[in-house]
Amino acid sequence: MKARFSLSPAAAAAALALSVALSVAIAAGTVATVMATRVSNVQIDDWQMQGSATHAAWPVWRLRLAAAFGNAAAREALADVLVSSAQLDERRAGVELYRQLALDGVPNAQATLGHLLLRGVPGITPDYAESRRWLSVAAAHDPQAAYDLATLYRNGYGVARDSLLSIRWLEQAAQAGVPLAQFQLANEYRFGATLPHDDALALQWLKRAANAELPEANLALAIAYRNGELGMARDEDAYWAYVKESEHDLKHISRP
């Protein structure tokens, strides 16, 4: 004879309530996951802008939520917001998040982490060895990473100085359109000891950097016209024109 077990009405009601609560929780979690992963990049950019500018709790919380549910763009945006925080613990968390993204193979994160570790973050000392590791990975696809590698080898940050390697990465960054690299390459042709002196190439790279609105390049061209350098005749009008361009550029300058 089989024993029969039955729940009391109170127990049955409690079990039903628990089942309903679990179902609601699962449904809510599913909805939250979908909403977090499907949020638009425009919305993420807006939260990132607000978070970086004001570090208000609401946009940062939204980024944290979307990142927690696996939104890749939100993870990068959150890392960017955190490294610019006034709080040291948040800056450290931002660097660590960039490190996780870099290990996950996110190209922009690899380049950014290399840059941060080269320059340092307030309260966080540079790590040249790790910086070189990530910059070497990123340089093939990121011109700024190539420029950072040139800086690292030129100055001997955590490694022996290597002028040839520095020039190699500098040329790659310049060809890819990094204005500071173009300006420095111009100076290498003009003054450097590694490349042969070539005023024509120096002028070519200076003009490319000037066209990219680099104030140093426009000022260098102004001085060259004033003094009649780089194979050019003295030209007072050109001198003042480039001085004005350099002043204009300074109003819009943005440096990494």
Residues 76 and 108: beta-carbon distance below 8 Å: yes
User: Looking at the domain assignment, is residue 21 inside a domain?
Assistant: no
Assigned domain for 140 exists: no
pLDDT 10s digits, 176-223: 999 999 999 999 999 988 999 999 999 999 999 999 999 999 999 999
Task: Provide the mean pLDDT of the chain.
Answer: 87
How many domains, in total, are found in the chain?
Answer: 1
Gyration radius of the chain over CA positions: 28
SS3 121: strand
**The model's pTM:** 0.80
Residue 181 located in a structural domain: yes
Q: What is the DSSP code string of 166-196?
A: HHHHHHHHHHTT-HHHHHHHHHHHHT-SSSP
What average pLDDT score do residues 35-41 get?
A: 69
Judge whether 72 lies within some domain. Answer: no
Residue-range definition of the domain harbouring residue 220: 177-256
Residue 25, pLDDT score: 44
* In-domain check, residue 227: yes
Bridge partners, 141 (sequence order): none
CA distance 63 to 97: 13
pLDDT at position 56, please? 86
The answer to whether position 149 is within a domain reads: no
Is the pLDDT confidence value at 253 over 60? yes
pLDDT of residue 36: 47
Neighbour count for residue 163 (Cβ, 10 Å): 15
Mean pLDDT of 70-74: 92
pLDDT at residue number 28: 42
Establish if 245 belongs to a structural domain.
Answer: yes
Residue-level pLDDT at 217: 95
Residue 216 located in a structural domain: yes
pLDDT at 250: 79
- Predicted confidence at residue 108, as pLDDT, reads 95
pLDDT for the residue 14: 58
